[in-house]
Amino acid sequence: MTEETEQATPTEVKVSFWLWVVAAVFTVAAFVSLFVLRQHFIDEQVKNNADPKATVDKIANGATYFLLAMLIGAVVMGCLFVLFAYKAREGTRSARTVLTGLLIAEALFLILFKRTGAAFLFGPLFGLIALLLMYLPKVQPYFPKVGRQLP
């Protein structure tokens, strides 16, 4: 990014970028906390188990691998938030669209995963605020439509 581009970037887009970084941090932190405190999650699964073939050890191992996969997914999601927020800060319209899709995917996942609580709500909340800043009428000229060029 050149100095000229940096000066032309609207303040709302700059703030949005940092809110996406905060959203990424909260998303990763929520799943780190879930992984660190996985015994509570395992206890829930053991309590709700209806399969007599599933032993406590099998449930604990499965839950640990599941939570590790969710943690890796959260890290990837956080990296994608930051990457596309950076591209949007440069004025890339498609990056803004990708961030919209990522935020919807994260929200749907948290709903399906049935995770609530402050740790899981702050990431999507900051992401939503960041996204709204990118769609303000004042910043629309910063994200120009790319016209098709016919061969």
**CB neighbourhood size of 3 (10 A):** 7
Residue ranges, the chain, pLDDT below 50: 2-5
Instruction: Look at residue 58 in the predicted model and tell me its pLDDT.
Output: 85
Instruction: Look at residue 46 in the predicted model and tell me its pLDDT.
Output: 84
Instruction: Look at residue 5 in the predicted model and tell me its pLDDT.
Output: 47
Q: How far is the CA of 87 from the CAs of 68, 80, 96, 137, in angstroms?
A: 29, 10, 8, 19
Q: What is the pTM of this model?
A: 0.83
Q: How far is Cα 3 from Cα 13, in angstroms, rounded to an integer?
A: 16
Q: How far is Cα 77 from Cα 98, in angstroms, rounded to an integer?
A: 12
